[in-house]
Amino acid sequence: MQSYKGFWGSLRLRYFGPRNLTSDAIYRSDSTALLNAEVAYHINQRWSLSTQLFNLLDRSDHDIDCAYISRITPTDAAAFTDVFHPAEPFQVRVVLRYSFGLR
């Protein structure tokens, strides 16, 4: 990993285009684009401090899309529907790392 005076960083774009959730294409997902970043500083051989930024664009995309038979409540009739897990909103994490082995 290359660094400049102990600093390094990264950008990661995760993109999934629209896709079929069923073989007959009745259920389709929208596209998903999430941008994450990290900036870190190596304090010395063993310690580093980093800031991680998740969902930089604060998009309200779906992290996971599926289509299957489900029930909203136990008394409802079963229905084939699309089910999704929303992407997490913009978040910042600060991480202090200690490496036990030599680099």
CB neighbours (10 Å) of residue 84? 16
pLDDT digits (tens, 9 = 90+) for 9-56: 999 999 999 999 988 988 999 999 999 999 999 999 899 999 999 999
Please write the tens of the pLDDT for every residue from 66-95. Answer: 999 888 888 889 888 888 999 999 999 999
> Is 44 domain-assigned?
yes
Per the domain annotation, does 58 fall within a domain? yes
Q: pTM for the whole thing?
A: 0.75
| Residue 103, in any domain of the structure | no
* Domain that residue 79 falls in: 7-98
1, part of any domain: no
Number of structural domains in the chain? 1
